[in-house]
Amino acid sequence: QARYVEEHRLGEGGCGAVFSGYRIKDHLPVSVQMVVVRQADDNGKNVSVEVAIMLKLAAEADGSVETSAPVSLLEWFDFGRELILVMERPVPAVDLDKYIEENGGFLPEDKAKVILKQLVDAAKHLEDKHIFHRDIKSENILIETGSDVPRVRIIDFGLSCFVKEQSQYRVFYGTEIYSPPEWYGRSCYRCGPTTVWQMGVVLYEALHAGDFNTTSFLKKRLKFKRHLSKNCRDFLDACLTKVPETRPTLEELQHHTWVCRCHLGAPKFKTASAVRQGRRGNCL
């Protein structure tokens, strides 16, 4: 309370309520989240998985300008049975769900392409850091609207985990209606194919007026728009391939013709290293 002012409630994260606020000394917009899930870090100290992941991203940040990035952890406080996370809050920005609504309920293909290119790059960056978000969806994607090019930020790492190559998961964490087909058929899923499936889910909802539902999709109750370009339809089909072993990797998506033809400027994100001076990383 000596450093931050808490304002209105923004919503629910994966593990707790999220509030808007600002830092008193410079009025920097922040979001404040309470979490209670805990895990040991490399030094044996108990921290939440979310904090451990955000600290890893901050420690490995090299100061480079990225086209997409998770929001940064500015500071965190340990109160024993709960943690308070103070995150940067991009302004002006809305989540992708709201952004789609404000643009008439669906996006034109060119605008969806700009967002998906950045999202795939961000997801690949997390994969390279051995981080599995597990719940990438429109509500967990912020769109910065302060320039002509919408800029993508990933939020809410409350369900995320560290992952080893080829690890399989037999307990589902995420949004059930978006779960990959292999969860229904095999009761297990893996990081890479699941994240690629989520890319398809996000793109489907960006292009169509209506929510995606895996069960409805598998029963062929969801239809694709007829006027999508051939490359867009191929990208969507590839992401939503039912057999996980035949889905492309995130790296292959990065080189897909549809997104390769999307040329972006260089968004200047405030990455973790850029805010390191304002982050104390302490336990109170």
Which domain CATH number covers 62? Answer: 3.30.200.20
Residues 100 and 225 in one domain: yes
Residue-level pLDDT, tens digit, the chain, 284 residues: 689 999 999 877 656 789 999 999 999 999 998 776 455 445 544 457 888 898 888 777 654 434 348 888 888 888 877 788 899 899 999 999 999 999 999 999 999 999 999 999 999 999 999 999 999 999 999 999 998 899 999 999 989 999 987 899 999 999 999 999 999 999 999 999 999 999 999 999 999 999 999 999 999 999 999 999 999 999 999 999 999 999 999 999 999 999 997 766 544 444 333 333 333 332 22
Residues 73 and 139 in one domain: no
The answer to whether 14 is annotated as binding is yes
Q: How far apart are CA 53 and CA 50, in angstroms?
A: 5
Residues 64 and 127 in one domain: no
Residues 204 and 136 in one domain: yes
Residues 110 and 219 in one domain: yes
Residues 102 and 150 in one domain: yes
Residues 67 and 106 in one domain: no
Does residue 283 lie in a domain region? no
Q: How far apart are CA 82 and CA 13, in angstroms?
A: 14
Neighbours of 17 (CB within 10 A): 13
CA proximity to 264, closest of 122, 76, 71: 122
Full domain range(s) for residue 172:
93-260
Q: What is the CATH number of the domain that holds 203?
A: 1.10.510.10
For tokens 């302490």, the residue is 282
The answer to whether 44 is annotated as binding is no
CA proximity to 151, closest of 230, 69, 215: 69
Q: How far apart are CA 284 and CA 278, in angstroms?
A: 16
Q: Which helix (H) or strand (E) holds 154?
A: strand 151-154
The answer to whether 17 is annotated as binding is yes
Residues 56 and 123 in one domain: no
Q: Can you spell out the DSSP letters for 72-91?
A: PEEEEEE-SS-EEEEEE--S
Count of domains observed in the chain: 2
Q: What burial class does residue 195 get, using C-beta atoms within 10 Å of its C-beta: 0-12 exposed, 13-18 middle, 19+ buried?
A: buried
For tokens 């978000």, the residue is 133
Q: Which residues are catalytic?
A: 135
Residues 37 and 84 in one domain: yes
The answer to whether 104 is annotated as binding is no
State the DSSP code for 175.
-
User: In angstroms, how far is the first alpha carbon of the chain from the final one?
Assistant: 12
H helix count then E strand count, the chain = 9, 15
The answer to whether 7 is annotated as binding is no
Q: How far apart are CA 271 and CA 58, in angstroms?
A: 8
Instruction: State the amino acid at position 266 in one-letter form.
Output: A
User: What residues pair up with 93 in beta bridges, in sequence order?
Assistant: 144
